[in-house]
Amino acid sequence: MSKGHYYLSLQKKMIFSTLQHEISAILNDLYSAEIESNAIKLEKTKDDFEGDLTLVVFPFLRISKKKPEQTAVEIGAALKDRLDSVDTYNIIKGFLNISFKESFWLQSIADEKIDSNYGYLKSDTTEKPIVLEYSSPNTNKPLHLGHVRNNLLGLSLAKVLDAAGKNVKTVNLINDRGIHICKTMLAWQKWGGGETPETAGVKGDHLIGKYYVLFDQKNKEEAAGGEENDTVLMKEAREMLIKWEENDAEVRALWQKLNDWVLAGFDDTYKRMGVEFNQLYFESQTYLSGKDIVLEGLKNGVLVQDEDQSIWIDLTNEKLDRKILLRSDGTSVYMTQDIGTAAKRMQDFNAYEMIYVVGNEQNYHFDVLKKTLIKLGFEWAENIKHFSYGMVELPEGKMKSREGTVVDADELMDEMKNSAAAIAKELGKADNLSNEEADRLYEMIGQAALKYFILKVDPKKNMMFNPEESIDFNGNTGPFIQYTHARINSLVQKAEDLGITASNWNTEIGLHDLEKDLLVLLLDLPQEIQKAADTLSPAIIANYSYDIAKAFNSMYQELSIVKEEDSAKQQNRLMLCKATQQTLTNSMALLGIELPERM
């Protein structure tokens, strides 16, 4: 299913399928062998060799019964004979490198409409949606670097899937209840002195985070090295939780007030990152769900009950373990809740597929969840996908809230912005900008730096976040791509000022190698989006964008537009610049990154 041709854009598809078809016919002609045309593999020719596409002939030696070189010569000659678009070919060992005519490439890009929709498929909203859950924070502390990776991945995945023509719905399940909230409530009540985000002058989530830490400190003091669960404070917190569950008016009011502060704080952070959801779920409303399903499963004999009345699923035959679903006292656990919310969400959206963006430390949990749901008879659970991403590590090791090594999301974004401002001032980039324009620009650059730094890494892998490297805006970074865009913008502007305009490609003239490299790359956007959607990897888009920026800058360095004397060439070059600008805009938008006109 994931054959090479599967990912291709219309243009590339035509090139590939035509070639495959012709090669298949040639093999039949020359060696009377029947080979399915889509079984013929073509790949991009490596940079070190001349050519556009390469056919590896080794697999055909069995049917040609000839040496690799000779087989390649025969196929190459026949191909040139049959296809007008083929310019030349060369053979190195068993590799047949095929070059197309420049006019063919120019015609290919002329046939693509490179506008703000280039590369994007229209989403079919009548299709059953893919429901994408991400973020899913606890309301007892502000968002940190780990959440940032989650949020950025979720944000980008939603855009990538949408661009690939999927109907995507995003949801956020907010963990707003439980013992951790009661701890902060208690701490605020005891030592807060009525402090609010307004009086304290801090965001609500940060204020609450302070009390969560304070509770921990006070509790440690009380325990004095002993059992931290046996303190009076912990007892009070547990009592508060019980009151909460009993709907005690006073406790509920306090809980509501503090949660609202936190959620308002999250909203600011989300807005700044560009994170949005189609629907929010709150655990305070869903935490009881799942129980009915479990009891039903027990009745059906899918689940087992121990002597102490606790209910379990036995997955030892699935290479997993036994897992508890209802405690002996009849209360539910995390898994129970997840079973319930999955079923609810399935109903709410009539989902085709449900994707959970959750860190890889929960691989086992989702394995169990999925298999349990399937055993319980929910066929749709086959379409549950745990998008498991790696942890973010710091140079000094893992983030530990107790050791104060947690990187706060808001502070991080501020630092990125400040770095952008400092560098811009040093380089004199902002001299002609108003204060507001400059401020917007620094924010845009800071965001790009952070987002790109995190999204360019394969999501499955653990990644290292080095603060010093993250504020380096040279090389393979978001600001580098933004800079490329700003350069093009300025260039196009300049050309227009000089009366140089272009709205069509001249397909019958020559192309410089540097122009052709860029042009061919631009034609890849649709297939890169498909690939990113299929593999759920924004990193593919990031690396592709970088390749474009690099190819452009190389060309920019060598070839001038305003000085070009051949006006047909000049127009093509201008067209190429505009196409590059648009392609970069479209690809970076999938990462939630905006590109400035100037910088």
Partner RNA sequence: GGUCUCGUAGCUCAGCUGGAUAGAGCAGCAGCCUUCUAAGCUGCGGGUCGCAGGUUCGAGUCCUGCCGGGAUCACCA
Residues 414-433 interacting with RNA (rule: CB under 7 A) = 420, 423-424, 427, 429
DSSP conformation letters of 52-74: SEEEE-GGGHHHH-S-HHHHHHH
Using CB under 7 A as the binding rule, whether residue 56 contacts RNA is answered as yes
Query: How far from the centroid of its chain's Cα atoms is residue 396's Cα?
Result: 26
Per CB under 7 A, contacts with RNA among 130-149 are 138
Nearer to RNA, 26 or 202 (CB): 26
Of 13-21, 146-154, 191-199, 480-488, the segment contacting RNA by CB under 7 A is 480-488
Using CB under 7 A as the binding rule, whether residue 403 contacts RNA is answered as no
Using CB under 7 A as the binding rule, whether residue 49 contacts RNA is answered as yes
Using CB under 7 A as the binding rule, whether residue 319 contacts RNA is answered as yes
Using CB under 7 A as the binding rule, whether residue 472 contacts RNA is answered as yes
Tokens standing for residue 481:
């791509």
Nearer to RNA, 155 or 555 (CB): 555
User: In the complex, what is the shortest distance from the CB of residue 472 to RNA, in angstroms, rounded to a whole number?
Assistant: 6
Return the amino acid letter for 520: V
Return the amino acid letter for 483: Y
Using CB under 7 A as the binding rule, whether residue 38 contacts RNA is answered as no
Per CB under 7 A, contacts with RNA among 216-255 are none
Per CB under 7 A, contacts with RNA among 322-361 are 324, 327-329, 333-334, 360-361
φ/ψ (deg, to 5) at 189: -65, -40
The three-state secondary structure class of 466 is coil
Neighbours of 73 (CB within 10 A): 16
Using CB under 7 A as the binding rule, whether residue 598 contacts RNA is answered as yes
Tokens standing for residue 75:
């196929």
User: In the complex, what is the shortest distance from the CB of residue 310 to RNA, in angstroms, rounded to a whole number?
Assistant: 4
Return the amino acid letter for 197: P
Which of 476, 510, 512, 585: binder of RNA (CB under 7 A)? 476
Which of 85, 103, 489, 506: binder of RNA (CB under 7 A)? 489
Nearer to RNA, 28 or 363 (CB): 363
Tokens standing for residue 376:
């319980």
Per CB under 7 A, contacts with RNA among 184-213 are none
Which of 382, 469, 508, 513: binder of RNA (CB under 7 A)? 469
Using CB under 7 A as the binding rule, whether residue 460 contacts RNA is answered as yes
User: In the complex, what is the shortest distance from the CB of residue 539 to RNA, in angstroms, rounded to a whole number?
Assistant: 6
The three-state secondary structure class of 312 is strand
Using CB under 7 A as the binding rule, whether residue 400 contacts RNA is answered as no
Using CB under 7 A as the binding rule, whether residue 475 contacts RNA is answered as yes
φ/ψ (deg, to 5) at 362: -110, 20
The DSSP bridge pattern shows strands 42-44 and 53-56 to be: antiparallel
Using CB under 7 A as the binding rule, whether residue 286 contacts RNA is answered as no
Using CB under 7 A as the binding rule, whether residue 385 contacts RNA is answered as no
Neighbours of 217 (CB within 10 A): 10
Which of 157, 214, 445, 575: binder of RNA (CB under 7 A)? 445
* 3-state secondary structure string across 218-268: HHHHHHCCCCHHHCHHHHHHHHHHHHHHCCCHHHHHHHHHHHHHHHHHHHH
User: In the complex, what is the shortest distance from the CB of residue 199 to RNA, in angstroms, rounded to a whole number?
Assistant: 30
Using CB under 7 A as the binding rule, whether residue 321 contacts RNA is answered as yes
Q: List helix spans (H) across 302-434.
A: 334-349, 363-375, 409-427
User: In the complex, what is the shortest distance from the CB of residue 153 to RNA, in angstroms, rounded to a whole number?
Assistant: 13
Nearer to RNA, 34 or 47 (CB): 47
Single out the residue of 584, 556, 555, 568 nearest to residue 502, CA to CA.
Answer: 568
Using CB under 7 A as the binding rule, whether residue 539 contacts RNA is answered as yes
Which of 30, 302, 315, 559: binder of RNA (CB under 7 A)? 559
User: In the complex, what is the shortest distance from the CB of residue 490 to RNA, in angstroms, rounded to a whole number?
Assistant: 3
Which of 134, 212, 356, 556: binder of RNA (CB under 7 A)? 556
Return the amino acid letter for 296: E
Using CB under 7 A as the binding rule, whether residue 483 contacts RNA is answered as yes
Tokens standing for residue 419:
């770095």
**Which residues, at least 6 apart from 583, have a Cβ–Cβ distance to it below 8 Å?**
114, 118, 119, 522, 525, 548
Nearer to RNA, 41 or 271 (CB): 41
Number of residues that bind RNA (CB under 7 A): 96
φ/ψ (deg, to 5) at 324: -80, 140
Interhelix angle for 513-522 vs 567-589, to 10°? Answer: 40
Return the amino acid letter for 134: Y
Per CB under 7 A, contacts with RNA among 79-118 are 92-95, 97
